[in-house]
Amino acid sequence: MTSSLPSHAQIIVIGGGIIGCSTAYHLARDHKADVVLLEQGKLTSGSTWHAAGLVGQLRSSASITRVLKYSVDLYKRLHEETGLETGWKMTGCLRLATNEDRWTEYRRLATTARSFGMDMHLVSPEEVKRMWPLMDTSDLIGASWLPTDGQASPSDITQSLAKGARMHGAKIFENVRVTGFVMDDGRITAVETDQGRIACETVVNCGGQWARQIGAMAGVSVPLQPVKHQYIVTEKIDGLSADTPTVRDPDRRIYFKEEVGGLVMGGYEPNPQSWATGLPGGDVPDQWEFQLFDDDYDHFEQHMTQAVIRVPVLENTGVKQMINGPESFTPDGNFILGRAPECANMFVGAGFNAFGIASGGGAGWVLAEWVVRGEAPLDLWVVDISRFSGLHRDRKWVEERTLEAYGKHYTVAFPHEEYESGRPRIVSPLYERLKQHRGVFGSKLGWERPNWFAPQGVEAYDIYSMGRQNWFGPVGEEHAHVREKVGLFDQSSFAKYELTGRDAAAALEQICANHVAKAPGRLTYTQILNTRGGIECDLTVARLAEDRFYIVTGTGSRTHDFSWIADHLPENANLHFADVTEDYGTLSLMGPLARHVLAAVTDSDVSNAAFPFGHVREVKIADHKVQALRVTYVGELGWELHVPIAGTGDVFDALMLAGKVHDIRPTGYRAIESLRLEKGYRAWGSDITPNDNPFEAGLGWAVKLKQDTGFIGRAACVAAAGGPLTKRLAGFTTTDPDVVLLGRETILRNGQPVGYLTSGGYGYTAGKPVGYGYVREQAGVDDAFLSSGRYELVVANELVDATIHMAPIYDPRGERVKA
């Protein structure tokens, strides 16, 4: 479709693949928006046209599963609206297991499916053979079967979405290339194209493999890497029916789907090939319309070999076509949605990791909602562009990590598995010291962090398994040490901000749900809410002076929380907001003997009377000025010590020396996790999310409804506080100490599913597995409802007796008592 461009549009969508057309369709259909879609070539001509078209629905996130289920529902009915077929076939999907680890993974997946309201079955090799007669099933333990999965035609879906978008008023222009943006104070005011300029209010970057380059024109980082992905289409195969289920055979790294009487077969190899374009910065050429790479049978042979073993008839079946095209992959294997932190009115939908067809319908729906309402409609943190940081501007690092993620696409998903590429990237000043203590490190947003410390005689690295892993015992010892003596955690990776200025207190009162503008020297635990009352941020605010606040939040939410606060600060106020993460190291001194250690290294009075819980004081340690925050995430007496980064090593050494008489030892993040589970502290991103309000999460005490102060989400909180809650967060323990809880296990009340665990682990003090999850009941969840039920958990598809807890599983008889 070509015609003269309009001079203005409310929203410009860039990219005419499935994501761009879906977003334009939903913007026009649901929001009656004035939408213009620009495609540099023809619709689908980037990577959509050569996608394999498998449509799966189950993910580890309930929200993303909902997004994918929406896609299926849309593809089923879209033709009724537009008159154009989508090629949707609900063939179901078999996932094959040939070893016990994979079978355990599927048992857990089946439990997750049940938790998310889906029907996944575990079937025998004999049943697989019945459903797929041409398959060799001799090595199978079994398979998972999701009957509502299927396949569709990528080009047909996209054309149907494009027609639907036009029917609802969207304007689509092909053969129009975006060449730049007109910017004003961090906002896009117009889009420059090779055919003229269009003024606009919002831009949605759905540029596929060009999304990184499009974003860069506006100073926006879109960390993705094009990777060559190959599959073949075979000649017709006798005995292959049109409704043959799609197959994923991850132990052989391959997949199959029926197409026109033959098979489509592709895979995810451990040695993927990125697209080294040869252009500056690895840019993708502008001219790449309906293009493919040369066939690479040498590289593809590894998949052919495995495919012939699985489906022997392929040995004598001709190959009609090989497709070797680029797909956009990301460093963590999740796609990218949301408003770009660097630009107030650019949204991004890109990096779909060969899941663009499965995701397309739902991704367009939530992205359109996000664009119009300014907030994500669901908890979309796992795909939110703000999960990235400045680290992800490094093209080489992104490429290396993305190739590792691609190579792990079909590997067994072991719990707690860490990426290995691009490490170490960011280290605290204590890195070498902690290595000498036999620290075993994990990585979070580029930071190396000690997960646990290996005693002599124990391998100082993770050995992954589906059961108890090799760190289980040592972490238990660290846990006990913090409960009984004193431990020292390096939490320098915490994100840290400073808000200064005459209007700082008033601004934070408008943003935070709790009362944070207390007297200088006080600190406050608070949430920041969206307009639905959902929890967007979970952080600590310390008031250092009348016009100076110090804010501490989690490592992974650094970009997200900074952007959220910055976006909601009042315009023209007397404020300065800065990220000071790298300016300070953080040492958390925790345990009943923590005061003895701290008193030995400072002249300041650290008694409970002089330094109560919830206060912040500047103290001097090893000749360095330290901000000491009296706060705990482990349920014991403790302080977070925020040290000028250059002095972190000195302060660590002083604490370790003074604490020697008290048997101090360095402790790691896995101990923090077990300690906080016992105490009932919530973790943002799992136990508390943008889908959950503070009252549902048991955090209503941290909402300032008794004060006559307006804040974001107040109306939703008033409604929640005044009516029956339909879900509430509860703790659960099992009587069987060997149960492994990870999260997403189904909660049964009187035999009926009422929710699922949001997090899980082991409480070493309690001597029991511990989990947290929301109990749901549309008629209302009150104390009587919770206490009157009989509870079980479904763990790896097996029933386990459970006890519900509405109070902390570990009651330390009060951190303040120990103080």
Q: What is the pLDDT of residues 181-226, one digit of tens each?
A: 999 999 999 999 999 999 999 999 999 999 999 999 999 999 999 9
Q: What is the pLDDT of residues 510-532, one digit of tens each?
A: 999 999 999 999 999 999 999 99
pLDDT value at position 3?
Answer: 61
Q: How far is CA 358 from CA 95, 149, 239, 663, in A?
A: 16, 9, 27, 54
Per the structure block, which two tokens stand in for 379? 């908890």
Helix (H, G, I), strand (E, B) or coil at 790: coil
pLDDT value at position 816?
Answer: 31
Q: How far is CA 611 from CA 22, 594, 616, 652, 816, in A?
A: 56, 13, 8, 21, 11
d(CA 461, CA 417) in angstroms, rounded, equals: 11
Q: What is the pLDDT of residues 19-62, one digit of tens each?
A: 999 999 999 999 999 999 999 999 998 888 888 888 888 888 89
Q: What is the pLDDT of residues 136-178, one digit of tens each?
A: 999 999 999 999 999 989 999 999 999 999 999 999 999 999 9
Four-residue CA torsion sign, 114, 116, 122, 127? positive
Please report which confidence band the pLDDT of residue 813 belongs to, taking 50, 70 and 90 as the band edges.
low
The residues pairing with 198 across neighbouring beta strands, listed in sequence order, are 191
pLDDT value at position 818?
Answer: 35
Q: Which of 1-10, 551-560, 576-585, 678-687 has the lowest mean pLDDT?
A: 1-10
d(CA 253, CA 601) in angstroms, rounded, equals: 56
* H or E stretch covering 110: helix 100-115
Q: What angle do CA 568, 572, 578 make, to 5 degrees?
A: 60
- Residue keyed to tokens 């008193």: 599
Q: Check pLDDT > 50 for residue 357.
A: yes
d(CA 734, CA 768) in angstroms, rounded, equals: 6
- What is the per-residue DSSP string for 677-718? HHHT---BTTTB-TT--TTTTT-GGGS-TTS----TTHHHHH
The residues pairing with 527 across neighbouring beta strands, listed in sequence order, are 538
d(CA 370, CA 374) in angstroms, rounded, equals: 5
* H or E stretch covering 567: helix 558-568
Pairing of strands 791-795, 768-776: unpaired
Q: Can you give 321-348 as a three-state secondary structure string?
A: EEEEEEEEECCCCCCEEEECCCCCCEEE
Please report which confidence band the pLDDT of residue 1 belongs to, taking 50, 70 and 90 as the band edges.
very low
d(CA 730, CA 696) in angstroms, rounded, equals: 10
d(CA 158, CA 165) in angstroms, rounded, equals: 10
Mean pLDDT of 305-321: 97
d(CA 292, CA 213) in angstroms, rounded, equals: 20
pTM (predicted TM-score): 0.95
* H or E stretch covering 563: helix 558-568
pLDDT value at position 54?
Answer: 84
Q: What is the pLDDT of residues 540-573, one digit of tens each?
A: 999 999 999 999 999 999 999 999 999 999 999 9
**CA 220 to the chain's CA centroid:** 20
Contacts 24+ apart (CB under 8 A), 284-291: 284/209, 284/210, 284/213, 284/226, 284/326, 286/40, 286/177, 286/210, 288/46, 288/209, 289/40, 289/41, 289/42, 289/45, 289/46, 290/41, 290/42, 290/45, 290/49, 291/325
Q: What is the pLDDT of residues 402-453, one digit of tens each?
A: 999 999 999 999 999 999 999 999 999 999 999 999 999 999 999 999 999 9
Domains in the chain, please, with CATH?
8-86+152-225+332-387 (3.50.50.60), 93-148+226-275+303-322 (3.30.9.10), 495-662 (3.30.1360.120)
The residues pairing with 336 across neighbouring beta strands, listed in sequence order, are 350
Q: Check pLDDT > 70 for residue 712.
A: yes
* Count of alpha carbons within 13 angstroms of residue 497, beta-carbon side: 25
Mean pLDDT of 85-98: 94
Q: Check pLDDT > 80 for residue 2.
A: no
Question: What is the percentage of the chain residues whose pLDDT exceeds 90?
Answer: 92
Please report which confidence band the pLDDT of residue 814 belongs to, taking 50, 70 and 90 as the band edges.
very low
Q: What DSSP designation does 355 have?
A: -
The per-residue pLDDT of the chain, averaged, comes to 95
Q: What is the pLDDT of residues 373-403, one digit of tens each?
A: 999 999 999 999 999 999 999 999 999 999 9
Q: Check pLDDT > 80 for residue 123.
A: yes
Spatial contact of 222 and 337, defined as CB atoms under 8 Å apart: no
Q: Check pLDDT > 80 for residue 815.
A: no
Pairing of strands 196-205, 8-14: parallel
Residue 723 CB: number of other CB atoms within 10 A?
10
| Listed residue (413, 24, 358) closest to 206, CA to CA | 24
d(CA 69, CA 679) in angstroms, rounded, equals: 36
- Residue keyed to tokens 């076939």: 89
pLDDT value at position 278?
Answer: 79
